[in-house]
Copies of this chain bind each other. A is one copy, B any other.
Amino acid sequence: MSLFLEVVPVSEAVEVVRRIAPPPGCEDAALEDALYRVLARDVSADIDIPGFDRSTVDGYAVAAADTTGASEAIPAMLQCLGRIGMGSADAGSISPGSCRYVPTGGALPRGANAVVMIEHAELIGDDVLVHRPVAPGENVVFRGEDFRAGAVVLERGRVLSPRDIGVAAAVGADRVSVVTPPVIGIISTGNELVPATGVPGPGEVRDANSYLAGAFVAERGCRPVYFGIVRDEREALKNAVSSALDRCDAVLVSGGSSKDERDNTAAVIADLGEVLVHGIAIAPGKPTIIGTARGKPVIGLPGHPASAFVVLVAIVDHLLAAMRTTAVSRRTLRARLTQNVPSTRGREDYIRVRVRDGEAVPVFGKSGLLNTLVQSEGLVRIPATSEGLEVGEEVEVILW
C-alpha cells in the first residue's frame, strides 16, 4: 500500500455506500411503538373517512337554502326537531323549514347540508332563529372528504411522525408494516484506548467513538451492538469484525485507519472481503475506508471523535438511510458567516459552527479537540470546487 491515500470525492463515496447498502427486512409493529419507524408498505384508508357527513361545530344542521337572506334584523326561523347525540347510529332527518341541533363531530341528519354555528342562532321554544346565512357544505366535512376508502394516506419510506401515527389510527392501521431496524456493529480499535468506565494511564485515552457512533446510529433508527475495544493487531481485529458480521447488517470500525503501520482495518476488510474506497476528499475525515465483507458494508472511521463524527454525518448517514430505504433527514438552516473561512480546492471541508441570531460563527480548534463537538451546533460544508467562504456569505448549516 502506498504512503498517501488515493482519495475519492464525497459524492462518489456517498454513491458507493448507497450501492452497498443491503436491502432491509420488514416486520409488523403496533402503532404505539411505531414512532420514527420507516413504513415498509403504504398505509391506506380502509373505509371512507369520515364515514358520514360530520359537523365541525356545535350548531344547527340545516338545508342551506333555508337560511338564504337571514340576518340579525330578519332572521330565518326554523323548527328544531331535536338534538343529535354524539356517536348515535341514526341522526334522523330534517325537512325544509326544520333543523336539528348537532354537536361538533356529530352526524348530519338526512336532508341537511350545512351547519349554523350556535353563536349565530337563538333557540326560542321549539324554534331556532338563524341570524346569518350558511352556504352548502359550510361547517361540514362530507363522507370521504378527508380520505376516500382505498386512498393511500401514508407512503412507504415515510418516517412516522406523531401526526402520522394519529392519522394511521384514524384509518384503522393499528398495526403497520415497517422496516426492521438495521443492526450496526460498533468496534473501536487502538492500543491507547480504555473503556469509558476506566481511568486512562499515561498515553491512554477513553474510547469515545463507540458511544458517539452508537448514539448516532440509534438516533437514525438503527440498533447499535457494541463489540468493545480491540487492540491494533490484525488477528484480533479480524476476529472482532468477523463476529460483528455474524450478528450485524453493517459494521463501523473506528480508529486504525490512518495510513501508516497501524492500518489494520483496510487489511482486515481486504482479508474478509473487498476495500472499495480508502480515503475521501473530505476534511476532517480523509482516512475513511469503505468496504464490504460477506455482502455487508464495513466502514472504517477516523480515530478522532470529531473527525469520526463528520464522517458519520457526511457519509454514514447516507448508508443508514439507504439501509432503511428512506431519505437522509437533515435539519438545516441558513445563516451568515461571521468571518472568512479558507478551504482547499479539491476536497469538501466541513467546519463546525455555532449559530446565533442568524449568524454562523466558525468554531476553530485543533482537529483532536472534543470540546468543539459540544461547543458547535452544526456543520457548514464547503464544496470541493470552492477555495473558501467569505464573511457575510449566506451558508447552509447542517444542524447536528
A64: interface (CB < 8 Å) = no
Q: A103-B260, A141-B369 are in contact. Are A174 and B195 (CB under 8 A)?
A: yes
- Bitwise, A149-167 to B at CB < 8 A (1) or not (0) is 0000110000001111111
Q: CB within 8 A of A370: which of B147, B172, B210?
A: B147
A349: interface (CB < 8 Å) = no
Q: A47-B200, A105-B304, A106-B203 are in contact. Are A86 and B232 (CB under 8 A)?
A: yes
Check A168–B211 contact: CB distance below 8 A.
Answer: yes
In A54-76, the 8 Å CB interface with B consists of 54, 56, 58
In A120-149, the 8 Å CB interface with B consists of 140-141, 145-147
A367: interface (CB < 8 Å) = yes
A50 — which chain B residues lie within 8 A by C-beta? 205, 368
A374: interface (CB < 8 Å) = yes
Check A369–B166 contact: CB distance below 8 A.
Answer: no
Nearest CB of B to A82, in Å: 13
Which stretch from A13-21, A215-223, A235-243, A292-300 is at the chain B interface? A215-223
Q: Which residue of B lies closest to A165 (CB)?
A: B215
A334 — which chain B residues lie within 8 A by C-beta? 334
Residues of A in contact with B (beta carbons under 8 Å apart): 3-4, 31-32, 35, 46-47, 49-52, 54, 56, 58, 85-91, 103-107, 118-119, 140-141, 145-147, 153-154, 161-174, 190-193, 195-212, 214-216, 218-219, 224, 226, 232, 258-262, 303-305, 309, 331-334, 366-371, 373-374, 400
